[in-house]
Amino acid sequence: MQSYQKLLLANKAWAAEKLRIDESYFEDLASHQNPEFLWIGCADSRVPADQVTGTQPGEIFVHRNVANLVVHTDINMLSVLQYAVEVLKVKHVLVVGHYNCGGVKASMDNKDYGLINKWLRNIKDVYVKHQSELDTISDEHQKFDRLVELNVTEQVRNLAKTTIIQKAWAAGDYPHLHGWVLDLNTGLIKTIMEILPDDLNAIEEVYRYDLPKKELSEVMH
């Protein structure tokens, strides 16, 4: 049996088990989705968003790319973000990195990786921004772990710089922004940072857009 055929068999077993527990499971699942969370995570196969958080289908909206980046020119990511915030009305956006991330590791050396160089450039920029701190860390593994954390921090800040997030805040809405890192050795998630709604002090003034805010009476009705 081919490996892909095992996936199809596993799918049938999964569907049958869901129906055994609840005959209307798929009918209900297909009717709508109302996730509270948007997960922006790494494409690494060891970091499945639903399994590490214990969430079920329909509970978490997911976007994944190499090294969980929030890039201001990435139309794919921005489209997911806009849909999640403006249509699904998620309350929390989670940027989730993980220690031992291959993308972050590759950004720390000077090898030519081809096309992905252009993507990893974003992490190199994070390194340069925090080089004074990183250069004080003599242990390369600890430096690697710290860059993973700093990368998550910068991607959360990049979220706050978007008009998508700022417009939602100006309208009196969520989301709450979170930066997490998963430790693959323990399976546990570490909270790195968070930005509460409308906390524009978390980013430099030049990134703050002049957007009309709703009056409190409008928000409450």
Mean pLDDT of 78-93: 98
98 as an active site residue: the answer is yes
Instruction: Give me the pLDDT at residue 148, please.
Output: 98
Residue with token string 């030519």: 112
Statement: residue 147 has pLDDT above 60: yes
CA distances from 173 to 164, 165, 218, 220 (A): 11, 9, 12, 11
pLDDT at position 4 over 90? yes
Q: How far apart are CA 133 and CA 146, in angstroms?
A: 9
112 is catalytic: no
42 is an active site residue: yes
Residue 80 burial (CB < 10 Å; 0-12/13-18/19+)? middle
| Each residue's pLDDT tens digit, 55-64 | 999 999 999 9
- Is 32 assigned a catalytic role? no
The identity of residue 23, as a single letter, is E
- The model carries a pTM of 0.92
Q: Which of 22, 28, 46, 50 is catalytic?
A: 46
Residue 32: the pLDDT is 86
pLDDT mean over 154-159: 98
| pLDDT value at residue 213 | 78
| 109-130 mean pLDDT | 98
Q: Find the helix or strand (DSSP H, E) in which 195 lies.
A: strand 188-195
Catalytic residue among 20, 32, 42, 63: 42
* Inter-residue contact 182 to 47 (CB < 8 Å): yes
Catalytic residue among 101, 157, 173, 178: 101
SS3 60: strand
Q: Which of 20, 72, 74, 98 is catalytic?
A: 98
